[in-house]
Copies of this chain bind each other. A is one copy, B any other.
Amino acid sequence: MFELDLRSRQPIYEQLVEKVKELIIHEVWKSDEQLPSVRWLAKELTINPNTIQKAYRELEHQGYIYSIPGKGHFVAPQAKTMTREKVETMRNELLRLISEALYLGMSKEDILSLIELAEQSVKGGIKHD
């Protein structure tokens, strides 16, 4: 279901948050669709239910999912709207990284070719993770 790196410096619950976000943003999981239950997913990934709970709580707090006690967690209809702020965050990251790259002597053309490359992989559906 998910590939987690238990040895990563990044906490498990954060990795989970990111994975779920990606599935939602890329519409693998659609609006109002039910997420795996806390206990089921914990068993599936052989990690503690509390860790799943923490990730889901965070996702709910960020507006990506909602929960109905007794029923489950579901993809929030507004989740796709969240991509706007994600794009904004990405703009900043990109600007920072591109500046750094230019500063280190990477040429404008180098970056342009990277865009071409990225475009192909995205259109071709090639995973880049």
Seen from chain A, the residues whose Cβ lies within 8 Å of a Cβ on chain B are 25-26, 83, 86-87, 90-91, 93-106, 108, 110-112, 114-115, 117-119, 121-122, 128-129
Contacts and interface: CB of A to CB of B under 8 A. Distances in A.
Contacts of A99: 118, 121-122, 128
A105 B118 contact: no
**Main SS at interface, chain A:** helix
Contacts of A105: 83, 87
A104 B118 CA distance: 12
A55 to B, nearest CB: 17
Contact of A98 (B94, B95, B96): B94
Contacts of A95: 114, 117-118, 128
